[in-house]
Structure 1
């Protein structure tokens, strides 16, 4: 029995499902999760000592690759001064200034410890600012596990949402309306019906949790226009795509200015850190200035801030994003060509350092389209690549990530492995 299997059996005795986040359990792809012991650059090693090319990158933060020497040095320099203070530090100001400089829509920012905390707090702030209750979200967009966000569409377009998790009261879910991603007609209908009740619209401008799905410019422009017209707060959830698709995030790519933005992943450099920020007049409603309460013992933790601040500084180097996008595009083009040669239905897309793989003939634009993909083939491909030492997300509904450590040799090795994997699917 492999050490991974031994660890998984042991973990299940004390940890629900043997994991601390569900997708890690390999339930959708089958098999035994890999327990990681160390990482460096574009690689990590499991408990059995096997090396993998890593395309999850801790689900996005490791944009510089694992254990980048300058980030490691920044963390080591602050460790000796203390792990946590529960009091302000100058470094918190520095990372806030850096975020506000890089994302022009953010005039003020509040640090938190997780993406869920960022979205939950931004929605509470939007409700406090507008004195309204209803929020609109979109099918397939994941914004963390706060109660009001674990909601699916009702049986009709404008029915109340229904909880998608046990433990979420229907009385909370009823304040959330769920619409189809990239559907402007549904959006317009919802605003006509509920415009005066809508506190906020929250959206992933580049979705990463139903796999990679880009918003259309028409869709995001309609969101901006309707929110402005009806006085609702537009929230861009850029926890995943922020600093991943461009230095200024998806809002830079699309040229659209949200009222609030949620950030995470990259801004912690691999440490637990996230943030939400936006217009000064909205942020002024946060305690201690206003009546919207939000607090966190580890918010602005000095170790997380050190890792995040150094990461934000390094990704501003000339040509960083051009190189990152080029390598990501090389990956998806190579995979697409390998699938075509094997006559396997497949498509792929990328933006910045994010990519999506779809076992279907064309790139999807909604959650409904994503669900039409061949998950059986994806699962077989996943395991074939895993056997070949390439670790993609263990789910057909997750985006992938490339780092600056994924050089030509790494990408070429991945494509070579994919040729064999696709050939086995066609056999």
Structure 2
């Protein structure tokens, strides 16, 4: 038994399924997980000392690569001064100012500890602000594991939410409506059936949790229009896209100003951090200014915020990095498409900026409906083949690849060569 297998077997005795987040179990690709020992730059090294080019990037936030000296600069000074106070610190103000500069729509910002906390809190505020109860989310868009967001659509049209997790009471999700991403007529019909009842529409402007799916031209603009007309709060969940698509996230890229925004991951430099914010009049509903309560001892933790500040400040002053990242992704996209065509494999590559997904699907993937018909067994074969070549891809068909500044030309060449070999073997 190798070390990874031994550690995983021991983990299963103490941790549910041996992992602290389900995708890490590698069940979607039909194998036991590799156990990470360390990482630097674009590489992850497992406990067997095998090296992999990593395209997970901790699911997006490691835009400067693993163990970046830029991100960790000065962190030991902060640690030596104390790791948690439960009281205000100046670095919280510094990062709030920096986030506001990048996202002007976030006029007031509240720090939390995760993307889940951010979306859960934003919805509570939206309900308090509008005095309405219903929310609209989209099938395939993941917004964390809070109860009201763990739903699926049933028929994918006008049905109420059905819990997709045991332990979530039906009553909790009765006010959660589910729409079809990229289908604005579906959204209009849902509003028509629920007039003056919808508090908020929450959306990943570029979904990354059913694979990467670009918004159709005009879809986000239409969401902005209909929410204004109907008096609903438009919430952009930019936990993945924030500071990833550009310094101003998806809203900067597409020129849309939502009412509220949720951020996470990258604003902590990879440490556990989240934030939500929006229009001043909405955020003034939050205690101590208003009656919507949300709190947390570790919210705005100085260590995590310092790491995040380092990251965001670097991105602010080096925005050419975004073109470099996209150029790398385009190289992979082009090569993958060429190899797919040559191999005759039913597959599609979706890419938005430096995020991409290879869907093993014979049709264009524009929503969850198409994504869900992808050949997960073929993806599993592709994943295993690439892993054997030293390339670590997302652990499920329905996740995205993330490029980092640490990925070198040599990394790309090795990845392209491996992908050609594996696709031709499928």
TM bin, normalised by shorter chain, reads: over 0.9
Contact kept? 2:160, 2:177, Cα under 8 Å: yes
Partner of 1:344: 345
Give the Å deviation of 1:352. Answer: 2.2
Partner of 1:163: 163
Partner of 1:378: 379
Q: Residues 198-249 of structure 1: CA distance to partner in whole angstroms, max 9, x if unpaired?
A: 0000000000000001112322112111110111000000001111111111
Please say if 1:417 is aligned against 2:398. no
Partner of 1:209: 209
Partner of 2:13: 13
Please say if 1:359 is aligned against 2:360. yes
Q: Distance in 1 between matches of 2:270 and 2:336?
A: 27
Q: Residues 300-349 of structure 1: CA distance to partner in whole angstroms, max 9, x if unpaired?
A: 00110011000001112041111011011111211222222222222212
Q: Residues 53-72 of structure 1: CA distance to partner in whole angstroms, max 9, x if unpaired?
A: 00001111100001111212
Partner of 2:193: 193
Give the Å deviation of 1:26. Answer: 0.8
Contact kept? 2:247, 2:319, Cα under 8 Å: no
Q: Distance in 1 between matches of 2:333 and 2:43?
A: 19
Contact kept? 1:152, 1:163, Cα under 8 Å: yes
Partner of 1:105: 105
3-state secondary structure, aligned to 1:213: coil
Aligned length: 425
Q: Distance in 1 between matches of 2:5 and 2:271?
A: 27
Moved more, 368-377 or 122-131: 368-377
Partner of 1:328: 329
3-state secondary structure, aligned to 2:194: helix
Give the Å deviation of 1:50. Answer: 0.4
Equivalent positions of 1:367-406 (< 5 A) are: 367-406=368-407
User: What TM-score results when the alignment is normalised by the length of structure 1?
Assistant: 0.98
Q: Residues 351-391 of structure 1: CA distance to partner in whole angstroms, max 9, x if unpaired?
A: 22211111124441000101121211110000000111110
Partner of 2:146: 146
Contact kept? 1:201, 1:234, Cα under 8 Å: yes
3-state secondary structure, aligned to 2:144: coil
Give the Å deviation of 1:156. Answer: 7.1
3-state secondary structure, aligned to 1:270: coil
Please say if 1:236 is aligned against 2:236. yes
Contiguous gaps of at least 5 residues in structure 1: none
Q: Distance in 2 between matches of 1:325 and 1:159?
A: 38
Partner of 2:135: 135
Contact kept? 1:217, 1:254, Cα under 8 Å: no
Q: Distance in 2 between matches of 1:156 and 1:274?
A: 30
3-state secondary structure, aligned to 2:70: helix
Structure 2 vs 1, CA of residues 392 and 302 (structure 1 numbering), >3 Å: closer, same or farther? same
Give the Å deviation of 1:32. Answer: 1.0
Moved more, 349-358 or 227-236: 349-358
Contact kept? 1:113, 1:274, Cα under 8 Å: yes
Give the Å deviation of 1:161. Answer: 1.2
Contact kept? 2:156, 2:180, Cα under 8 Å: no
3-state secondary structure, aligned to 2:416: helix
Partner of 1:311: 311
Q: CA RMSD in A?
A: 1.1
Q: Distance in 2 between matches of 1:366 and 1:307?
A: 35
Contact kept? 1:260, 1:278, Cα under 8 Å: yes
Contact kept? 1:74, 1:310, Cα under 8 Å: no
3-state secondary structure, aligned to 1:207: coil
Q: Distance in 2 between matches of 1:77 and 1:68?
A: 17
Q: Distance in 1 between matches of 2:240 and 2:159?
A: 29
Q: Distance in 2 between matches of 1:297 and 1:350?
A: 38
Q: Distance in 1 between matches of 2:44 and 2:37?
A: 8
Please say if 1:227 is aligned against 2:227. yes
Partner of 1:178: 178
Q: Distance in 1 between matches of 2:323 and 2:74?
A: 25
Partner of 2:94: 94
3-state secondary structure, aligned to 2:357: strand
User: What TM-score results when the alignment is normalised by the length of structure 2?
Assistant: 0.98
